[in-house]
Structure 1
Amino acid sequence: MKILGLTGGMGMGKTTVAAMLRRAGFPVFDSDATVHRLQGPNGKAVAAMGRLVPAALMTDCEGRETLDRQALRKAVMADSKLIHDFEKIIHPLVFEARNEFLKHYRRKGSAWVVLDVPLLFETGGHRKCDKVAVVSAPRRTQAKRIARRRGMTIPEAERMIARQMPDREKRCRADVVIHTGLSKADTRRQVRTLIREMRG
C-alpha cells in the first residue's frame, strides 16, 4: 500500500483537494476531523486541554464535557506558547488514530491512501509517505479565505499565517504542488493529473 501525504497551510484549499481525492475513491485520513473529535464531546483531549484553558471547558446539553474552540483560539492569540502545549496533547492522539487508519486499509489491500495533514512536515509525517502533494495559493488569497471563514480581519489572518511553516518551504519539499489560486476547474484538472500518476 502506498501513501500520499496531502498538506498545505490554512486557507490554501486542501479540504477541497481532499474531497476530490475522496470522490475518486481514495481512502482519506482527515487529521482536522480527528482533532475535532478529540476536542469534541467526551473527546480524549478535552480534560488535558481544559486544564490548560479552564475558560474553554464546557458541558453540552447532554452533560458531556467538551471544548469551546473560540475560547481556545482567543487563548492562543493571547499566549502563542499554548500552541506547543496543545500539540503535546493532540499529536500523540492523532498519530494513534492515523496508525489505526493505515492498519485498517493495509489489511483491506488498498493500493493508495491519503493522509490529509496540515502539519505533515512539522510532525515528520512526510517520512511515512511515498509522495507528498502540497496545496498552495497566493498569500493574499490565503489571508482573504481565512478572514472570511473565521470572521476575522486580514491582519489577524496574516498573524495566523506567520506562525506556520512558510508556503515556499512546503512547496520546495513537495513532490507535487497543486495551485488553487485560480478556478475550481483548474484545481480539478491538476488533481486529475495527480490521480493518473498514482494509478499509472
Structure 2
Amino acid sequence: MILLGLTGSIGMGKSTVAAMLREAGVPVFDADAEVRAMQAAGGAALPAIEEAFPGTTGLDGLDRLKLGQAVFGNTEALAKLEAIMHPRVRAVQEAFMAGNAAEPIVALDIPLLFEKGGSKGVHATMVVSAPAEVQRARVLARPGMTVEKFEAILAQQLPDADKRARADFVIDTGVSIADTRAAVHRIVDCLRLHGVDKCRDA
C-alpha cells in the first residue's frame, strides 16, 4: 500500500482534489471530517473537551465560537485541545488504514501535514496549490470570513511556496476543473503502475 499525504493551505481546493482521488478509486481519510464528527452532538471527544474547557459544549455539540475564544492565540490551550483530539483522530485513521490494507493507494487528507510532522509517516506527499490571488478570493468569499481571520489562519500554516518545494506532487487548482482532474488521475495511474520513485521523477 502506498500512503499518500494530501495537504494544502486554506482555499487551495484540497477538498475538490480529495473528491477527485475518490473518483479515481483511492480511499481518502479526511482528518477534518473526523474532528467535526467527534465534536458534533454525541461526539466522542465532547466530554474531554468540556472537562478541559468548561462551557464550550452543549446538547448540539461543540460551540466553536466559545472554544475558539478559549484557544485562539493561546498556545497552551491549543496544545491541550490537540492532546485531546490528535490521539482520537489517529486511532480512527489507523482503523481506516487497516480496513483498506488491500488497496494499492490510500490517501490521508491532513491540513497540517508538514506543520505537525505527518509527512514523515507517508510514502509521498501531494500538495494542492493555486495562485495567491485565487486563494484569497476563494477564502474571503466564505461566510463569516474576514481579512484578519484569513491572515491569522495563514500565519499558522507553512507558506504555499514551502509546501510546493517539499511536495512529491503538486496539483494546480488555478486551472480548469478538467485539467486538475486529469493531473490527479495521471498521478494515481502512475503510482498504481510504477510506484512512488518513478512517478516522482516523471
- Partner secondary structure for residue 149 of structure 1: coil
Q: CA deviation at 1:160?
A: 1.4
Residue 99 (structure 2) pairs with residue 145 (structure 1)? no
Q: Residue 143 of structure 1 contacts residue 158 of structure 1 at CA under 8 Å; is this kept in 2? A: no
Q: CA RMSD in A?
A: 1.9
| TM-score, scaled to structure 1 | 0.86
Match of 1:63 in 2: none
Equivalenced residue count is 193
Instruction: State, as a whole percentage, how many aligned pairs show the same letter.
Output: 45
Q: Residue 4 of structure 1 contacts residue 133 of structure 1 at CA under 8 Å; is this kept in 2? A: yes
Match of 1:192 in 2: 185
Match of 1:174 in 2: 167
1:90 aligned residue (69, 85, 103): 85
Q: Residue 126 of structure 2 contacts residue 169 of structure 2 at CA under 8 Å; is this kept in 1? A: yes
Q: CA deviation at 1:78?
A: 5.8
The CA deviation string for residues 23-65 of structure 1, in whole angstroms up to 9 with x for no partner, is 11111111111101111122222122223433421113xxxxx
CA–CA distance in structure 2, aligned partners of residues 7 and 143 of structure 1:
17
**Comparing 155-164 and 25-34, the one that deviates more:** 155-164
Superposition misfits of 4+ residues, deviation over 6 angstroms: none
Unpaired segments ≥5 residues, structure 2: 194-202
2:152 aligned residue (155, 159, 163): 159
Q: Residue 20 of structure 1 contacts residue 191 of structure 1 at CA under 8 Å; is this kept in 2? A: yes
CA–CA distance in structure 2, aligned partners of residues 122 and 17 of structure 1:
20
Match of 2:26 in 1: 26
Q: Residue 144 of structure 1 contacts residue 154 of structure 1 at CA under 8 Å; is this kept in 2? A: no
| TM-score, scaled to structure 2 | 0.86
Q: Residue 143 of structure 1 contacts residue 161 of structure 1 at CA under 8 Å; is this kept in 2? A: no
Residue 111 (structure 2) pairs with residue 102 (structure 1)? no
Q: CA deviation at 1:178?
A: 0.8
Paired amino acid for 2:47: A
1:67 aligned residue (52, 62, 66): 62
